[in-house]
Structure 1
Amino acid sequence: MKKSLIAALLGATFATSALAQSSVQIYGIADAGVMFQKGGPTKIYSGGADGSRIGFKGTEDLGNGFKAMFNLEARVELDTGTQQPTLMNDNPGRYLLRGMNAMPLPAPVRDRLLTGLQAAIQPPGGPAVNQERALFDRMAMVGLVTPVGAFLIGRMYTPGYEVFNMADTFESGTAGTWGHVTGGTAGFTALSADIRSQESVQYRIALPNGIGAALMYGGKGSGYLGRYNKFRAGHVTYKANGFDVGVGYNHGYDRQDRPSLRTTTVGGSYTLNEWKIFAGFHSQRNTNSALLPDYLAGWDSVVVPQLTAGGVPAANQTALRAFFSRTIAANTVQDANSYQFGLHYKIGSGRVMASYAHQNDRTASNSDANLFAIGYDHFLSKRTDLYTVVANIKNKNEAQYAPGTAGNPGGFTKGPGEDGRALQVGIRHRF
């Protein structure tokens, strides 16, 4: 019983990589390819089906059913050699500055300020992930496996995101992944799910009958970007008899301890012979974005010096900043329900993948999106595969969702309401 429980716990802990061994192991994924996209450049990318990485993990048997364990995992961008992927294109996302034309300034002055503000909020070619330049951005944790569960501490995948990944037909990778239409309102403007949380502790249990559970708590500086005052999350899963399903919940609180992004995800997959069926539902709500201080810092660094140089009185500057603060706070509100379903079908040494996802934006802008994707994954060996995916995102109203990869968010289409399309070809090798 104890041996079965420990094995299950180790499998649940390393949900996205191979089982830990009794000694230190070096592992990784090298994944790269080319994406052809509408409204953007043909781009060589790193991390198409899986984020490229190098990791170190291991366990030590302490006896009596106890094991010490650790996992360190670093992001590796094969196209540049850095650890900071960019968006797949430099098209500006218009949604965050929606309504700014009402700013009480002469039109030429206002337009010049908004151009600078757009660049400050979304720097062209700037990092889209790992802005902190963390060495082990993907995972950094240590823990103790006991006969009654695993206790972990560090930077880890969140319970809610693990369920999202289970339900995603394209396994959180390629141009077809569900996450490309859940990236905040109208595009990659804000987080739609906390993929990882730093400054966190976690308890996990996985029973031999397939039932598993996780609870996570993060203090000040927790969350994916370390912007939360606290973070709470949990999930319950079932992995047996062909099922890999669960329900997960994440909830962060901003630096003022107000409720920020909260997500609920339900779904998973069922395998039957050559078929694997996926389905998922994802709810995202956020009325106090943890990123607002970043946007206000952009105003202070870019706009204030120009207003001061232009002789705008201090009282007027205060009023303009208050206008900007109210407007961008409204633009960061998230209220959306999303669902996705799809399938895999094994053919010889490969598999066909197809899915449909819908983002139902419940804010006043009604910026919905529909994602259609189909792909083929051919395994040259147990470790190496070639893949190709075609994806089409039909945007509505102010939506600008664009296809991306596992490692690179898609960014934005050229204009609101335009479709996002991409063809992707890549190779992935696991070691």
Structure 2
Amino acid sequence: MNALHGLNEKQIEAVTHKDGPLLVIAGPGTGKTKVITHRIAHLIREHNIRPERILAITFTNKAAEEMQERINTEIGEPHGSSVKACTFHAFCVKVLRNHALKIGLSENFTIFDQELQDEILTESVRELNLNPDDYPPWLLRNIISDAKCTLQNPIDAVGETDIYDSETIENIRSVLRTYQDKLDKYDALDFDDLLVKTVELLRIEEVKAAYHQEISYILVDEFHDVNSVQYHLLQLLCAPSERNLMVVADGDQSIYSWRGSDPQYIENFRADFNSPTIELDDHYRCSEKILRAAEEVISRNPERQKQHTLRTHKDAGRDIFHYTFDTPIAEALGIISVIENLVGRRNYSYRDIAIFYRTHKLADVLTEQLLRANIKFQRILPTNSFGEGNSKGILAYLRFLQWQLPQDLEQAINFPETYIDDLTWVRL
């Protein structure tokens, strides 16, 4: 299949860009993932680039899986699965497993997820006879993450803020030291460490040179969500003589400022890499009215760097209605009124209607009112097969067998039934 088939002029320009850096500004619905996958196919078919020397990075496991599927569809096996399509964290884990000994880690280091990280932080607070309510794990976790995402030592970074008094700062530092000691004891890394330690590794010339030889082309999706440590990682991964790095970004879609991401890195990339820019402005997803309404909202952002106007290939579409309500119950009743009108007077079925909400908590009132109105609905909740029920208990057993963490023992010993109550566990 021709990698350029079905692409518009701007997409073809991005796909056929051969060497050197490239910034692609791509709004929603402009085919950015198609550009990435077709570019990979073009590099392999037209330029004989070995697929294993191409690295495609995105931000979530779901996005990485989707990208890998699209690559496999476009290129076919065995080449498709040879392309490295993964998240930043997954890539870093592979790098660290291969070279852990060079920075004092074992190859079998463990990774603390957020739940386990919170448990270790709470345990550290209690060991110092501090009140966990005064030093909640989410606060400590944010302090750690904010520092590591900017390649700072969290213990040092705490003192650079004027939010806390001197006593609180010293207590936080003590907790963070205890937390770090526990990480070292268990030969463990938290999620932020995966990035920080990989940067540390790539600063070793021997390791950096090896990856410059191994990776010829790097493509990054959702580049507008990178933070400082991720940007630094990309700089280290790119061979200075080639800098074959294509990033796809849209500053209007940056949503991870709470973890250090900043659309400013788009401009930094343009300047640091002296990169040409291609703007994808043909939109294929929404109607004209939806697109213009979205642009009207984002245009009010005072920090917006540059206006990027899209043109749609859809018709004008239906009108958009905006309602405001004084209370959550009034909002729920208003939604129900719209549903009843659609089903009772306009011949729609309940299955034709979808309700989106920002958080699951916001849907509780709506769910209650839908039940009272005898409206049939299906509420779709997030699923985590390895974080619930039997899987969670089984994983606790397996983790305890390998790392002997007391948190895992407590969870495992009470699975599948409770054998030791909380009071007895505290006494033990």
Tell which structure's C-alpha radius of gyration is larger: 2
**Which structure has greater helix proportion?**
2
Which TM-score bucket, shorter chain as reference?
under 0.3
Instruction: State TM-score, norm by structure 1.
Output: 0.23
**Which structure has greater strand proportion?**
1
